[in-house]
Amino acid sequence: MTKLSDETRASLRSRTRLVHLGRDGEQSQAFANLPPFRGSTVLYPDVATLASRAQRYTYGTHGTPTTEALCAAWTDISGAAGTVLVPSGLAAIVVALMTALSAGDHLLMTDSAYGPARAFANATLKRMGVETTYYDPCVGAGIEALMRPNTKAVLTESPGSQTFEIQDVPAIAEVAHAHGTCVLMDNTWATPLFFPPHAHGVDMAIEAGTKYLSGHSDLLLGLVSADEAWLKRLEQTAYHLAIPAGPEDAFLALRGLRTMELRLREAERQGLALARWLERRPEVMRVIHPALPDHPGHAIWKRDFAGSSGLFSVVLDPVSEAAAAAFLDGLELFGLGYSWGGYESLAVPFDAAPIRTATHWAPGGPTIRFSVGLEDIEDLKADLDRGFERLRTTP
Ligand SMILES: Cc1ncc(COP(=O)(O)O)c(C=O)c1O
């Protein structure tokens, strides 16, 4: 394979990029894929090189050809200056927050953030002297009223975890930057393919590579991409926290990267088809999917996003707890599980109300989050059909 010239690389569309980025024929001894480089010890040719560390790889925790290839590819598709890898999506949130914040600082976190991110802020960041205020995800430029002189970071997540509020990230970023405040975003749902974060004013973007990058529910991985202003500090924080991603996971993620756009586009197609089918079900009160025109954030989604993925929620008409459980318990194709973005469909019940503090979540009926996989849509509908039958016949 001929090495890509800079001009060719710059001209490539995302699907081609995903196939060719992070592949280096020299490093992989002419094999198509880089192997998972496993290593703690890195050897030096002489004392002078050991003293100066003037060689590409220096120690296991500093990166390997496999992790570097993945970082380079992710940096490219994110439009960032660089990327660090950590062992989970939650670790990526932690590293990004610890990069932006110091004792005495104030954090603004969207009320719709991934639950464990709140737990980290409420316990560990608090113990370290960082105060957190939760804000309405739909605040937009109104975030101005919440800014304090010591507000050093705003965490966004769009759409929000489980409840799918779409945030006006560019408007939030404009206000934050006027105050010298760092903008972070958990971009896991859209990935950089459907929402290029740095082009929308995000300084550090978080991705749980566990989800669509993996695509196969068999690894845990987190990525944080940063623009130039934040990259050095991000790399230093990740290095000091000493939580490098494992070689096998980086290898599998590189494999997932090759098909990520195909899988995402299929997740979008399947997700929308199922969401529209669910909208027509008499047992369903509301489908919460940003790509549907009746979603309150649809106009912003349309303005800023290039697509939607296969994760959305529904609100059922009020039924007994037993009936809602009967719907889920007998599903044969939809698994009951949390980590989403894999090849298989999932359905989990959730209740966002107990963790909300800035907004009120009162959907009016039982809520279920669906992650739509790659099964035939007619088989999925038949599985849900049988579930609705159980729901109707359970008192
Ligand atoms: C939006 C979002 N961010 C981050 C995470 C955390 O990822 P991980 O499971 O790799 O820690 C999740 C996991 O469900 C998530 O849904």
pLDDT tens, residue by residue, 91-129: 999 999 999 999 999 999 999 999 999 999 999 999 999
To test ligand 1's pocket by mutation, which of 164, 312, 339 has the most ligand atoms within 8 angstroms of CB? 339
Instruction: Characterise 21 by phi-psi region: left (phi > 0), alpha (psi -120 to 50), beta (else).
Output: beta
What's the pLDDT at 306?
98
State the distance from the centre of ligand 1 to the C-alpha of 208, rounded, in angstroms: 5
* CA-CA-CA-CA torsion sign (286, 290, 293, 294): positive
The residue whose CA is least distant from atom 13 of ligand 1 is: 339
State the distance from the centre of ligand 1 to the C-alpha of 347, rounded, in angstroms: 16
β partners of residue 151? 106
State the distance from the centre of ligand 1 to the C-alpha of 255, rounded, in angstroms: 20
What's the pLDDT at 278?
98
Half-sphere exposure of 136 (CA within 13 A, CB side): 12
What's the pLDDT at 159?
98
To test ligand 1's pocket by mutation, which of 85, 88, 90, 252 has the most ligand atoms within 8 angstroms of CB? 90
Render 208-263 in DSSP notation, one character per residue: ETTTTTT-SS----EEEEE-HHHHHHHHHHHHHHT-PPPHHHHHHHHHHHHHHHHH
| Mean pLDDT, rounded, for 195-210 | 98
Atom of ligand 1 nearest to the CA of 189: 1
The residue whose CA is least distant from atom 9 of ligand 1 is: 89
pLDDT higher than threshold 90 for residue 320 = yes
Q: What is the model's pTM?
A: 0.97
Structure tokens at 333: 């194709």
pLDDT tens for 120-162 read 999 999 999 999 999 999 999 999 999 999 999 999 999 999 9
Q: Is the peptide bond before 247 cis (omega within 30 degrees of 0)?
A: no
Structure tokens at 374: 């790659």
pLDDT higher than threshold 60 for residue 218 = yes
State the distance from the centre of ligand 1 to the C-alpha of 92, rounded, in angstroms: 9
Dist CA 163 CA 115 (whole Å): 12
Write a three-state SS string for 115-181: HHHHHHHHHHHHHCCCEEEEECCCCHHHHHHHCCCCEEEEEEECCCCCCCCCCCHHHHHHHHHHCCC
> Residue 259: which residues within 8 A CB-CB, separation 6 or more?
18, 215
What's the pLDDT at 1?
57
What's the pLDDT at 119?
98
**Residue 381 CB neighbour total at 10 angstroms:** 16
Angle subtended at Cα 358 by Cα 353 and Cα 364, rounded to the nearest 5 degrees: 35
- How much of the chain, in percent, has pLDDT values that exceed 70? 99
Edge-to-edge strand order for the sheet containing 311-316? 284-288, 311-316, 367-371, 346-350
Dist CA 87 CA 94 (whole Å): 11
Q: Give the largest CA-CA distance in the chain.
A: 78
State the distance from the centre of ligand 1 to the C-alpha of 34, rounded, in angstroms: 27
Mean pLDDT rounded to a whole number for the chain: 96
What's the pLDDT at 2?
65
What's the pLDDT at 228?
98
Q: In a 10 Å sphere around its CB, with 0-12 CB exposed, 13-18 middle and 19+ buried, how is residue 188 labelled?
A: buried
To test ligand 1's pocket by mutation, which of 211, 224, 243 has the most ligand atoms within 8 angstroms of CB? 211
- The set of protein residues with a Cβ atom below 6 angstroms from ligand 1 is 88-90, 114, 161, 186, 188, 208, 210, 220, 222, 338-339
Structure tokens at 94: 């932690």
